[in-house]
Chain A
Amino acid sequence: MQVTSPVRPPLVTGGKTVSDVTVDICKQVEGKPTKSWMVAFTISVITLAFGSYCLFWTWWEGIGVWGLNKTVGWAWDITNFVWWVGIGHAGTLISAILLLFRQKWRTSINRAAEAMTIFAVLCAASFILAHMGRPWLAFWAIPLPNTFGSLWVNFNSPLVWDVFAISTYLTVSLVFWYVGLIPDFATIRERATGIRRAIYGALSLGWDGSAKSWSRYEAVSLVLAGLSTPLVLSVHTIVSMDFATSVIPGWHTTIFPPYFVAGAIFSGFAMVLTLMLITRVVFKLQDYITINHIESMNKIIVLTGSIVGIAYITELFMAWYSGVYYEQYALFYNRAFGGDYLWAYWAMMTCNVISPQLFWFKKVRTSIYWTFILSIIVNIGMWFERFVIIVTSLSRDFLPSSWAYFSPTIYDVGDYVFSFGLFFTLFLLFTKYFPVVNMAEVKSVLKSSSKQQTK
């Protein structure tokens, strides 16, 4: 017997039928690119071209073109890396954790969120490669038999853990995303002709939609979700260990793993919202990505934002309570209440802790405009968080004579611009050529989502 809830609002509005879902979602894949898509794509490609030029010179000249100095050895590169990896986390969270918790509202947004994950991790990887200075030697981070004697990578190092974590995360996310796409590619294949049929036919791997295949598909999805859940937590935990296992005051903090994970989910959801709000308008998906979806995501933002806020306060408390002088200096005198980067600290506090609290008001969290503005503010705030942790801690080290201020150069900015160009170019290509909403999953929740939908 089908159990329907009369209380819950429908997941898909507009009285859509199963057939409507196919038509609505396939429309942008099958039709010509819209004018707004073309404009956005052109801007992205120009951005990518400018960024690529800067990245090329970074590689050609070496990372001396950045504003790094002998004191601040990591700055925008690792800030951007951690920021992008964090953004990726919402995708896996939506697909995996919400799947395990049987949160059916995820079905409309999981596809785009997973795509965002993959592109964000690619952007993060570009900074890892760039900050190596000699990216053609990147394979040194992989344990390969070599001619230097039996010289292996150091498995005690969090930087090596990062290599394994990020590459596994990218691979598993890609596989999870692709497995989810297969049935939808089959739907497009059956509607297409000619070369398009051949391409989508190859992409669909010969999916026939038999009950046996669906049964296996569901088992695979569930196990992948079960594997991805600890994976996503491990990735940002390991990223945080890049800092936490060192002895730099301001980095050497046991709270980092959960604090970074919460921050990652926080920024990831903000980026999902930014993208989905644009996508739903450009592709007219208001019936699929409803106010309820936006409200649910805003609730997660206010939760994770509060966790991040508690983490900031805990850091200050522990600096005081531990009685470690260097820690107190780093946290109080150089970060929260003084130092060269006081402005960055309070920008972070305002964006990450204070502004999301507005989502406690139903009017704010159900407003498209407020959500869009606050989602961007949160992303700016999370970038500042990574910047504050990295740059303030390094700029004033144990030796006052070597204290230095970091100022970015055009190449620091250009490489950051590159990542935006790459991200949006890939995301726009995805929205045009791949079904942006998971048709099969939306169809499966269409009927059970509410009484109104049962016809």
Chain B
Amino acid sequence: MAKGKNFLLGIYKDEDVLVGAVSKVRVAGVRIHEVYTPFPVHGLDEALGYKPSNLPIVAFIFGLTGTICALCLTILTMGYDWPMVIGGKPFIPLPNFIPVTFELTVLLASLGMVGTFFVISGLKPWGRPFMFDPRSTDDCHVMAIDLDRNKLSKEEISQLLTESGASEVNSKIVE
């Protein structure tokens, strides 16, 4: 039987206590595996040392692709492939192409960004996440600490979690 990974779970009821606890635990030199919360907690990513997401840049790149595609589509079809005189307008009336260009920019930016979000976060219909504690989708915040990747002993980390305001400290072995 393969040996499982040992985790220690600090359960927090209050989001402000959680953010304080994350900072405290990290200052003590403990590496946090991940924190699971039922709702977005502001300041948690800074406390965990996460960098701001690059997804806005992804959206910009996809948006730019949309702009270029739309301009190519409108200019090439109406200006070169089959130019027709419509209402005496020039073959490439750029202002008239702006609505379509704008819509395609927004469409590609949105779909591209959300698609990237799904891919990098591993979100898929057949995804079955491992939940340390199902209460983390209800009313509890769960701080998971991988004991094998920390120098401090289980007792020391457990005490640290309790001192930082955890309402429960549980251990869990993950196969």
Binding site for B on A (CB under 8 A): 2, 17-19, 22, 143, 149-152, 154-156, 158, 160-161, 164-165, 168, 171-172, 175-176, 179, 182-183, 186-187, 189-191, 201-203, 205-220, 222-224, 227, 230-231, 234, 238, 241, 439-441, 443-444, 447
Contacts and interface: CB of A to CB of B under 8 A. Distances in A.
B125 A440 contact: no
B38 A202 contact: no
Interface residues of B, number: 64
A156 B118 contact: no
A234 B93 CA distance: 19
A207 B86 contact: no
Contacts of B74: 155
Nearest to B98: A161
Given A149-B82, A190-B137, A224-B114, A212 B121 contact: yes
A172 B40 CA distance: 22
A205 B59 contact: no
B129 A208 contact: yes
Given A154-B86, A234-B103, A443-B39, A208 B120 contact: no
Contacts of B42: 444
A22 B53 contact: no
B89 A211 contact: no
A156 B86 contact: yes
A202 B99 CA distance: 36
B39 A175 contact: no
Given A190-B134, A211-B45, A231-B106, A202 B126 contact: yes
B97 A155 contact: yes
Contacts of A2: 16
Contact of A209 (B38, B63, B87, B93): B38
A218 B40 contact: yes
B44 interface: yes
Interface string B97-108: 101101110110
Nearest to B73: A143
Interface of B: 15-16, 34-42, 44-45, 48, 50, 52-53, 55-56, 59, 63, 73-74, 77-78, 81-82, 86-87, 89, 93, 96-97, 99-100, 102-104, 106-107, 109-111, 113-114, 117-118, 120-131, 134, 136-139
Chain A interface mostly: helix
A243 to B, nearest CB: 15
Contacts of B137: 183, 186-187, 189-190, 209
A175 B74 CA distance: 26
Nearest to B114: A175
Given A155-B78, A190-B134, A230 B106 contact: yes
Contact of A220 (B48, B78, B102, B113): B113
A106 B42 CA distance: 18
A129 to B, nearest CB: 19
Contacts of B125: 202-203, 205-206
Nearest to A165: B103
Given A211-B45, A213-B121, A219 B34 contact: no
B99 A220 contact: no
Nearest to A169: B103
B138 A208 contact: no
